[in-house]
Amino acid sequence: MSVAAGAPVPERLTGRQWAVVLTASLAALLEVLDTSITNVALTSIQASLGATLAEVGWVVTGYAMANVVMIPLIAWLGDVFGQNRTFVFSLAGFTVASVLCGLAPTLPALVAARILQGLLGGGLLAKAQSIMFQSVPPSLQGKTQGVFGVVLLAGPALGPTLGGVLTDALGWRWIFFVNLPFGILAVLMALAVMPPERSAELARRRSSVDWVGICLLILCLASLQIVLEQGRQFDWFESAAIVQLTLLSAVCLPVFVIWELNQARPAVDLRVLRHRSLAAGSLFSMVLGLGLYGTVFVVPIFAQSVLGYTATQTGLLLLPGACASALTMGLLSRQVARFDPRLLIVVGSLLMVLTMGWMGAISPSTGEDSLFWPLILRGAATVMMFLPLSLASLGTLPRDEVGAGSGLFNLTRQLGGSFGIALLTVVIDHRSSLHRAHLVEALATTNPLLLERLQVLQQWLQSQGSAAGQLQDQALEMLNRQVNQQAALLAFGDVFQVVGAVFLAAIPLVLLLGRPSVAPAP
């Protein structure tokens, strides 16, 4: 976009614009926190409600399924009912649903409340971002997206920290009750700074509802999300239900695309993907989702299963990386307009590849100190990709298409996280089994080092008071645990290498991105 001669370029945000930014960011923070805050509390929920591990997994799956269905629909809901009304209603409903989660007496009640929470909160992220893009001139979007990025990147890391502290100190129900005061504050702020739209145009849009498109979208995304979240529990395609849901999603997707492209008022405006920058940015956003949500999923598992950390210790392990993201975002948001966003994305991607290679070199001596700097660099690298990618993907869109573009952009990041978590769990399972087989194969009974190791273990067990007749069996059991731990350690190293390889392969997508204007249109 060119700048008209003499057109005034705003130098700073007005008070109302800052209020809109803070309100939208607070709402987005509440939604992002709840995507990860429950992960460290599942064991406590399982014990409290008398559920199995597979059953309690629906606390996470139900929320994610509803969340991913609502994200692409939120632009249509904003067109039909008004952006601000939709935003305030979603925010208020999300707060009420959080309280229902905390009060749930049984697991089915909790899962139902989580699905409601996911439906009402699913649109907060995309709607908050689109409201900010439409409320702030292009020349100042670097600052506002910087604030929004701090929320989005720090949230997944702060979620386990806050969840662990609240669960250990007050009980798992408080991970939901904590939303109440902040939700009420955000609703009051939204009512004060976001007046409702005129009703005449909105009434006309309500006359045509694309129910077929909505149903196809729900069938496609809900089935896909269940497969990604629950596939591991049911041994993937060994389960008939997983196969059927996969086929349902695969059939509904092309039908949904064809139907939406032929509708005058589609539920999801896929035509916005004609903009090359948004299409390429959405693909790269999937990779970013893998790095953002996938690694935050893997590191806590590694810390708790291999290093023996508690929920609180695991959360504190991730905290410095979240702080690094916030600091980097604050610094970069002030200077991002001076650089080509594509260059920053490439630098961030290479930094992520370097970081994953560093984390992939973990060893039995790896501890909190060994992970400190890699997690710091990971936090900085994600910021160097997220902020420029948002500006390059959405900053070039016409203002009336930002809502639809933001929905698809956020959907791809969410799906990237889901695909990433599913992929990484498969890699962990497969590589653990493979490494264990190789390690066991090397433990020949004639190996003098093995015999020496068993003798040392038996002597140690005898010094601890073990019965003489049980020394050999106990020594073999200890050796088996050490082999399993070493196999898991090698598998986690492979996972980090896979993430680095994916980011390296995605760099060519940057060539398809455009450079957004930093000045307002005439």
- Is residue 163 classed as helix, strand or coil in its secondary structure? helix
Shared domain check, 168 and 55: yes
> How large is the angle between the packed helices 211-230 and 240-261, nearest 10 degrees?
150
Q: Which helix (H) or strand (E) holds 210?
A: none
Q: Which helix (H) or strand (E) holds 43?
A: helix 42-49
- pLDDT of 99: 92
Shared domain check, 521 and 473: no
Q: Is residue 472 part of a domain?
A: yes
Q: Give the pLDDT confidence of 363-420 residue by residue, as tens digits.
A: 666 655 677 888 888 888 888 888 788 878 877 778 777 777 877 887 888 788 878 8
DSSP per-residue codes, 480-520? HHHHHHHHHHHHHHHHHHHHHHHHHHHGGGGGG--PPPSS-
For range 469-475, the mean pLDDT: 70
Shared domain check, 134 and 70: yes
For range 346-350, the mean pLDDT: 90
The domain total for the chain is: 4
Shared domain check, 506 and 411: yes
Using pLDDT thresholds of 50, 70 and 90, give the confidence band for residue 199.
Answer: low
- pLDDT of 518: 47
What six digits make up the tokens of 387?
């902020």
Q: What does residue 315 show for φ and ψ, rounded to 5 degrees? A: -60, -40
- Tell me the CATH number at 359: 1.20.1250.20
Asked whether 190 and 84 are in contact (CB, 8 A), the reply is yes
Of 245, 266, 287, which residue is a domain's last? Answer: 266
**What pTM, to 2 d.p., does this model score?**
0.71
Q: Residue 330: what residue type?
A: G
- DSSP letter assigned to residue 307: S
Domain range for 444 is 434-488
Smallest CA-to-CA distance from 142 within 470, 471, 448, 517 is with 517
Q: Give the pLDDT confidence of 69-121 residue by residue, as tens digits.
A: 787 777 777 777 777 888 888 889 999 999 999 998 888 899 899 989 988 88
Shared domain check, 178 and 122: yes
Asked whether 246 and 227 are in contact (CB, 8 A), the reply is yes
Sign of torsion over alpha carbons 456, 457, 459, 464 = positive
Q: Is residue 5 part of a domain?
A: no
Asked whether 318 and 299 are in contact (CB, 8 A), the reply is yes
Q: Is residue 57 part of a domain?
A: yes
Q: Is residue 26 part of a domain?
A: yes
For range 462-487, the mean pLDDT: 73
Give the span between the Cα atoms of 205 and 194, in whole angstroms: 21
Among 83-92, 132-141, 182-191, 295-304, name the one with the lowest average pLDDT. 132-141
Q: What does the H/E/C string look like for 46-95? A: HHHHCCCHHHHCHHHHHHHHHHHHHHHHHHHHHHHHCHHHHHHHHHHHHH
Q: Is residue 147 part of a domain?
A: no
Shared domain check, 190 and 50: yes
Across the chain, what does the average pLDDT equal?
A: 78
Q: Give the pLDDT confidence of 21-54 residue by residue, as tens digits.
A: 888 888 888 887 777 777 777 778 888 887 776 6
Q: Is residue 513 part of a domain?
A: yes
- pLDDT of 350: 92
- pLDDT of 390: 81
Smallest CA-to-CA distance from 498 within 412, 434, 414, 425 is with 425
Residue 447 or 220, more confident: 220
Using pLDDT thresholds of 50, 70 and 90, give the confidence band for residue 519.
Answer: very low
Out of 222-231, 255-264, 321-330, 511-520, the most confident range is: 255-264
Give the span between the Cα atoms of 30 and 11, in whole angstroms: 30
b (16+ CB within 10 A) / e for 487-511: bbbbbbbbbbbbbbebbeebeebbe
Using pLDDT thresholds of 50, 70 and 90, give the confidence band for residue 200.
Answer: very low
What six digits make up the tokens of 141?
């979007």
Shared domain check, 369 and 480: no
Shared domain check, 297 and 258: no
Of 161, 179, 208, which residue is a domain's last? Answer: 208
Using pLDDT thresholds of 50, 70 and 90, give the confidence band for residue 468.
Answer: low
Shared domain check, 282 and 415: yes
- Is residue 268 classed as helix, strand or coil in its secondary structure? coil
Shared domain check, 214 and 180: no
Give the span between the Cα atoms of 189 and 145, in whole angstroms: 19
Shared domain check, 466 and 504: no
Q: Is residue 146 part of a domain?
A: no
Shared domain check, 181 and 118: yes
Residues in contact with 304: Cβ distance below 8 Å, sequence separation at least 6, in sequence order? 310, 311, 314
Q: Is residue 193 part of a domain?
A: yes
What is the CA angle 12-131-399, rounded to 5?
85
For range 119-146, the mean pLDDT: 73
